[in-house]
Structure 1
Amino acid sequence: MTDSSIDFRKTHFVISAPDIDHLEQHIPGNEGIEIAFAGRSNAGKSSALNALTEQKNLARTSKTPGRTQLINVFETAPGCRLVDLPGYGFAQVPLAMKQKWQQALGEYLQHRECLHGVVVLMDIRHPLKDLDMQMVQWSVESQLPVLVLLTKSDKLTQSARMKTVNDVRKALADFGDAVRVESFSSLKGTGKPKVLSMLTEWFVGPATADENVAAAE
């Protein structure tokens, strides 16, 4: 990918896969660049993807947590893909289904060579649950950069939002520059330019990311 910028509004759906074997048949794991979106089933992954791409129905949203059962792939530009992974920590689903989803999630994270970064989404009112911490830890140990996105920030006052962001940054400080923490609101657009800048940097490099931020401002 050598273009000078990425227009995330051109993102489009490519494929849904139940596991990595099906995904590899259509998109080999050593081709292009992928950025994974991971989080608990109520973290607002689909809403965040829709907001970042300015498309209302790119990723399906549901009032029932745990409905995202597949690995959903979206292409933003040739060779650049956003991947919506099955939510973890689901409630009120059969154990066998829960295990199947967790297996698909684990296989993707462990075996996709094209994975260049992980966005871990957490509800700003309930951050840093055990599974969230495990996801961050695994990503850092795998030498993948991590963006912790504290979603639904419009649910808190500005002072409460800033305090939570600072608390989470302190809790993850030992990871150093490998982990960044930002607040985000799909409803208000809070944090959107920063997120798009980081995604662009992961895709094409820091110089282009700076250009995209300037354009967004």
Structure 2
Amino acid sequence: MPDQADSAPRDTGPQGGTAFNILAGAALGGLVGLLVGLSASPIAASAAAAVLALLVTFFGFGGSIGALRANVSGARMVGFGLAMTAALLAGIAVRAHGSLGPDFQQRVARFEAGGLSPDKAQDLAIYEQLGLRTGFLADVEAPTAVPATSPFAFNFNQDSADANCGLLNARYIPDPNERLEAMAQSAEPWASIGRAGKAKPAAERAAFAEAAYQRRCGPAAAR
């Protein structure tokens, strides 16, 4: 009579040959590496956390899980490690060089389309892309805390000082129309403030811009 242990299903390891396991590991490693490399973005960070949680189960690092415990071959581990390293470097390079965003000329054109002069448009584009204050922004005071999204100055983070409080000060942009346009080109809530101000009569724009600025940044910031 056959032994019951002999009739039980046996764990024969991963299906497929060496090439299959290398490709499977490389695909997973490439996905994880790219997500981690781009994880400065909150969405990518959340996706990376979810994938890494699945990896813990896949590789069995979270303790014994019985029959569901993964039996990973060395070939798959090698493919995963090599692909993750390459994809991680690629993701960091894409993030660091802003390859997924507009280039410098597109940034300048966007500010010029809003009515800013070419010189000011270039200064704002440099500040937005690199965080450097040049031209009329050279004397703008730095924020008390660096925003979490630095060096992309036109992103707003609720837990950080608003870098635009220095940029949008009337001392640096005295013309109310240009000031409201700069607000409209910034992230929310500045964009809504700028659009609302531009819709007002010309005689009311300066007072509206200053009132909105002080409400957002405080009276001390306007001094």
* TM-score, length of structure 1 as denominator length: 0.24
Which of structures 1 and 2 has the larger relative contact order (alpha carbons within 8 angstroms, sep 6+)? 1
More helix by share: 2
More strand by share: 1
* TM-score, length of structure 2 as denominator length: 0.24
